[in-house]
Amino acid sequence: MRPASARTGAQREQEIAERFQRRHAERVAREFTADVAQALEHDPRGPHDDKTSRVLRALHSLPVAGKHIVRSLGVDGPWAIGTITVGEPGNLKLIEGTYDSYDDAYREVFRLRRLALVGSDS
């Protein structure tokens, strides 16, 4: 018989997954430096250097729920930013405001993701 305080395999797997996610988020936050933010501000679609590309890959691999995305409201804009929210109509909650430029909307998405990840714009 197992002691009451012993963890199951599933509990251990969950603990390891949570630790991995936390360390991954901490690493990405450390790498999302001012120079990476500046590179994304200057040219949001790239091409980017290796460090900026690593940060982008990490941002793209974050869980879908709660992620900010750009949504086209017409063939050539305007563009809006939404948050993927399960339970909302279309699972998307649009943030108020629109952008005439896709790049400007994309810049704002990166700013919001950095704010969520690092806690600041600077």
Q: What is the pLDDT of residues 44-84, one digit of tens each?
A: 888 999 999 999 988 888 788 889 999 999 999 899 999 99
Domain positions in the chain are 9-118
pTM: 0.74
Q: Contact 114/121 with Cβ under 8 angstroms?
A: yes
